[in-house]
Structure 1
Amino acid sequence: MTTPQTPQPYEIRVIGAEATPLRDLYHLLLRHRWSVTFAFIAAAFLFANALFATIYVFTGGVAHARPGSFADAFSFSVQTMGTIGYGVMYPETPLANALVAGESIVGLILVALFTGLVFAKFSRPTARIKFSVKATISPMNGVPTLTFRLGNARSNQIVSATVRATFVRTETTTEGKIFYRMLDLKLVRDCMPSLSRAWNPMHVIDADSPLRGATPESLAASEAELMVLVVGLDDTSMQQVHASYRYFAHEIVFGARHADVLTETPDGAMELDLRRFHELEPTVPTQDFPFPRRSDAASPGVEKTA
């Protein structure tokens, strides 16, 4: 049996954008991983010392340094920029003293810049909001309803959490132009006083919904996607945090619902099983909503239940 291929999301190639890596270097370092930031700081430090070491090699004037030795000049440069000064090597000419003064100024500037960068990156608020890998469309009280799941992966709370859902699809105008239309979806509840581990925002597909009459084939044909944005206040840092996620057409499953993660134990306690956060369960097809179809039975992420 041939395994069905999962369609890949479309790719947008940007052409003609102005490249300004140096102008946006600060923002790039804030966005990248800590390893990239530390690598940049180390590379900048080594480059600055290597530059001054090269100047010391050609100008000389460093006592007890071997003439023409880059290693000695580099060691003296590191001691100068780091204000270490072991006392073995020192400047003995006016030009060398001037270079030491200039390098000390450069060292102070670099330390200030790197300290500010590390502090800004460390204090930058981030949200660890987890989204379900699939969104679903299934009957809720007899009406087709779009549902996705999100939750706070940390043990604290996100207060006044607000979620927005936008349905995006490509349309062709009467002039034959392709138009990228964005439509806001009205959620049953778009605000949560306190967001913890799991929340299932829902959009009822009624007569006014942009998803009215949608099928897996129509979503794929229109290159549809669901964009979700969550904004709230971290109750630990008291700073605003946000997170976003995108569901492409093949990640919206018809005829399935998210498995219950909150259940009551025999002793009356409530149990939250986050192992089922991404798990889906098939729903029963109806005359008005004939999903899941037999051709959809192998949809990834749907767990069959007895």
Structure 2
Amino acid sequence: MPKKIKDPGLGEQSSEFAQSIMNSDGSFNVNRVNKRTNILDTYHYLINITWTRFFLLAIVAFTAVNVLFALIYLLIGVDQIMVPTNSVLENFITALFFSAQTLTTLGYGYLAPNGMLSGFISSFEAFLGLSMFAFLTGLIYGRFSKPKASIRFSENLIFRDFNTTKAIMFRLVNNRSNVMIKPKATVTLALSKLNNKNEYKRSFYNLKLEREQINYLPTTWTIVHEIDQDSPLIEYKNDELNLLNAELVVMITYFDQSFNQEVHQIHAYNFKDLKLNYKFNPAFYYDKDGKLILDFDKIDSITPYKS
């Protein structure tokens, strides 16, 4: 008989129109509202955003600081750093260039402070620039050195005959060429159903797998859950599986030699996307020299299954 487990942290409350628990990138599908901001969370935010957003924020911050100091130089009088012209725009642009040279501690020698006030402001700006670039360097190093798995999961969750019963399965591959030591899979079924109080509640089950752990992963790993008498899916007919308000939450854990520590990655499959009576095509083969070839274009390749 299938055995329920306690809520693993995903929440038992559900709805008829509840979206997937997780997004495609492995993040939880939760919108946080009325959250108090904390400046101490800035580092965590900057470490985890995408590279595109990170560099856009860096450019915006650099531009904003230079515009601010250029306006300050205009306010105290641009004659303290240059020979002023009759054009306010030209004076501002020149002050902007001077600010950029000061902030980066570059200095070409063409522009220089020639007053007490401008010297004090430019010195403070140079100190600020050193601090900003030290902080930026630390963030870039932190982003590169942060332990992170790079596992590619198949787009499809498939269902087909398996041995004397049936099974659902998916497969995965390591995107990197490093060795994954003792990868282990944990698969949780989150099943949302209407209870006798007319409320949608989630039930959770740890699915028994054909193999929960392997020693290493040089090619692909197809993870299989056989639907036997101990499976929570045994009570459903084949054509009912796609109609279930259910999803699989997958966590892969392994020891990464590159980071010299254990890393993990989470992924989710929705039963609405379950492919019935399909099988995975082989994603690797041997060339004429006997070399094993892994073709990443075939990771998601499936064909109809005929028993």
Give how far 1:212 is off.
1.0
Q: Which moved more, 1:195-204 or 1:173-182?
A: 173-182
SS at match of 1:85: coil
Are 1:229 and 2:251 counterparts?
A: yes
Alignment of structure 1 residues 144-223 onto 2, 5 Å: 144-215=166-237, 217-223=239-245
Residue 47 (structure 1) aligns with? 64
Question: Matches of 2:84 and 2:186 in 1, distance apart?
Answer: 67
Preserved CA contact (<8 Å) 1:65 1:72: no
What TM-score comes out, normalization by structure 2 length? Answer: 0.79
- Specify which of 274, 278, 281 is matched with residue 256 of structure 1: 278
Question: Matches of 2:171 and 2:97 in 1, distance apart?
Answer: 57
Preserved CA contact (<8 Å) 1:153 1:197: no
Question: Matches of 1:123 and 1:37 in 2, distance apart?
Answer: 16
Residue 10 (structure 1) aligns with? 19
What letter matches 1:195 in structure 2? L
What letter matches 1:163 in structure 2? A
Give how far 1:16 is off.
3.3
Question: Matches of 1:228 and 1:124 in 2, distance apart?
Answer: 22
SS at match of 1:148: strand
Give how far 1:274 is off.
4.9
Give how far 1:15 is off.
6.6
- Specify which of 108, 113, 116 is matched with residue 130 of structure 2: 108
Give how far 1:44 is off.
0.8
Residue 3 (structure 1) aligns with? none
Q: What is the Cα-based RMSD across aligned positions, in Å?
A: 2.9
SS at match of 1:190: coil
Q: How many residues align?
A: 278
1:249-278 per-position Cα deviation (integer Å, ceiling 9, x unaligned): 132222222223456789988665555432
SS at match of 2:245: coil
What TM-score comes out, normalization by structure 1 length? Answer: 0.79
Preserved CA contact (<8 Å) 2:171 2:222: yes
SS at match of 1:226: strand
Gaps (5+ residues) in structure 2?
1-16, 21-28
Question: Matches of 1:70 and 1:266 in 2, distance apart?
Answer: 67
- Specify which of 138, 142, 154 is matched with residue 120 of structure 1: 142
Specify whether residues 51 and 212 from structure 1 end up closer, same or farther in structure 2 by C-alpha distance, changes over 3 A only: same
SS at match of 2:58: helix
Are 1:59 and 2:76 counterparts?
A: yes
Residue 92 (structure 1) aligns with? 114
SS at match of 2:210: coil
What letter matches 2:71 in structure 1? T
Question: Matches of 1:19 and 1:214 in 2, distance apart?
Answer: 44
1:189-235 per-position Cα deviation (integer Å, ceiling 9, x unaligned): 11111122201111121112111132455334431111211121222
Preserved CA contact (<8 Å) 2:160 2:277: yes
Question: Matches of 1:129 and 1:283 in 2, distance apart?
Answer: 26
Question: Matches of 2:292 and 2:213 in 1, distance apart?
Answer: 23
What letter matches 1:10 in structure 2? Q
SS at match of 1:225: strand
Question: Matches of 2:103 and 2:284 in 1, distance apart?
Answer: 58
Preserved CA contact (<8 Å) 1:66 1:72: no
Gaps (5+ residues) in structure 1?
1-7, 286-306
Preserved CA contact (<8 Å) 2:73 2:118: yes
